[in-house]
């Protein structure tokens, strides 16, 4: 028997190149079942359940990759779609958090009777457990996502607007303008990022607006360089030369011809920068210079596990830590995919 079975279309016509992989199905179904049932069904030490869960995920992933490539072709990237699904679910849940039936995330006066340090239990009132004040970790993770994503995306937006404009000016006018922008950019890059953030964190009031402005200084040099490089590439294209030959002003060329073309590679690079700034914001909050408790942030949630709390109750750190890791990984992978597609310099490689 063949390892593949060909699909037929909705009207009975046979689909071209679309196959169902029986080996892929044979790996995916048992793998998903093992990952779902192992943590609750296996007796013995916790590491055994964790190992079975990891093996199940590995089998399921290998099977789903084969299934996806059979159905959608060899270019199918399961990891990309998993990362995209994670971001869609996380952002949707964070936006809709006030309307979801979540536990208390902020006011410790409302959690006097709630269990403190409750471990995760999937079908309980607190599926991801509680912290030392009885606050629900699922609710705090989602509200922390609102803060982290708002600050990081806001900082990237500021960096794109300011850095993109400066980079286009430097790449188009060149000469003295390019030299001055280069000196300013190199000066910003010469300051260690953590030192710059700590200095700004001690001077500015720790609210979302000020943190976003402080983080935008980290994104600014990279955005300027990216916009300048893209401008240098597109400034030699036929449509720019034609617009100049037809008498278009410099500002019209930059606004109508260069800006729309520079924006796509800049936005794709911005997705990678978002992941860097999420870690930077978490680092500030961990050090007590960012979002202040009891307002949730992934950084100050991880800080709650300092000392013996992590040894006795590891979920206090693992819940925000794993969420932070998955989000940064997803933004990085999707951003790199976008850069390969829209960055003119990457397309030549």
Listed residue (80, 127, 152) closest to 319, CA to CA? 127
Segment 148-206, tens digit of pLDDT: 899 999 999 999 999 989 998 888 888 888 889 889 888 888 888 878 888 877 787 87
List of domains in the chain: 4-76 (no CATH), 137-347 (1.10.3720.10)
Comparing CA positions, the residue from 235, 202, 218, 206 lying closest to residue 275 is: 218
**What percent of the chain stands above pLDDT 90?**
14
What is the secondary structure of 263-320 as a DSSP string?
Answer: HHHHHHHHHHHHHHHHHHHHHHHHTTSSSPTTS--HHHHHHTTTTTHHHH-THHHHHH
Quote the pLDDT of residue 52: 73
**Cβ atoms 313, 320 nearer than 8 A:** no
Condensed to tens digits (0 to 9), the pLDDT of residues 228-259 reads 888 888 888 888 788 878 877 878 888 888 88
Phi, psi of 154 (to 5 degrees): -65, -40
């Amino acid at each position: 028997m063949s390892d593949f079975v060909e699909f037929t279309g909705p009207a009975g016509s046979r689909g071209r190149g679309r196959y169902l992989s029986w080996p892929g199905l044979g790996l995916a179904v048992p793998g998903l079942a093992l990952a779902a049932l192992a943590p609750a069904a296996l007796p013995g030490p916790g590491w055994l359940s964790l190992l079975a869960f990891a093996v199940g995920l590995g089998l399921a992933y290998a099977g789903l990759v084969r299934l996806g490539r059979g159905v959608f072709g060899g270019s199918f990237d399961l990891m990309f779609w998993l990362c995209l699904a994670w971001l869609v679910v996380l952002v949707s849940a964070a936006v809709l958090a006030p309307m979801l039936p979540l536990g208390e995330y902020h006011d410790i006066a409302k959690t006097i009777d709630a269990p403190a340090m409750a471990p995760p239990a999937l079908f309980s009132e607190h599926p991801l457990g509680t912290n030392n004040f009885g606050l629900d970790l699922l609710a705090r993770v989602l509200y922390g996502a609102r803060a982290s994503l708002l600050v990081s995306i806001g900082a990237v937006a500021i960096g794109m607007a300011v850095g993109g404009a400066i980079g286009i000016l430097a790449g188009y006018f060149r000469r003295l303008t390019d030299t001055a922008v280069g000196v300013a950019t190199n000066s910003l890059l010469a300051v260690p990022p953590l030192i710059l953030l700590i200095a700004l964190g001690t001077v500015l009031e720790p609210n979302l607006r000020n943190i976003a402005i402080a983080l935008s200084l980290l994104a600014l040099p990279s955005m300027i360089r990216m916009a300048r490089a893209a401008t240098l590439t597109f400034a030699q294209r036929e449509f720019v030369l034609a617009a100049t030959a037809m008498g278009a002003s410099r500002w019209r060329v930059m606004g109508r011809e260069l800006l729309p073309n520079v924006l796509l590679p800049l936005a794709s690079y911005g997705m990678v920068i978002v992941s860097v700034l999420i870690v930077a914001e978490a680092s500030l909050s961990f050090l007590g210079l960012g979002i202040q408790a009891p307002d949730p942030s992934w950084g100050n949630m991880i800080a709650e596990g300092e000392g013996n709390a992590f040894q006795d109750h590891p979920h206090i750190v693992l819940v925000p830590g794993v969420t932070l890791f998955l989000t940064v990984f997803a933004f990085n992978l999707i951003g790199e995919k976008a850069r390969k597609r829209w960055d003119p310099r990457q397309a030549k490689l």
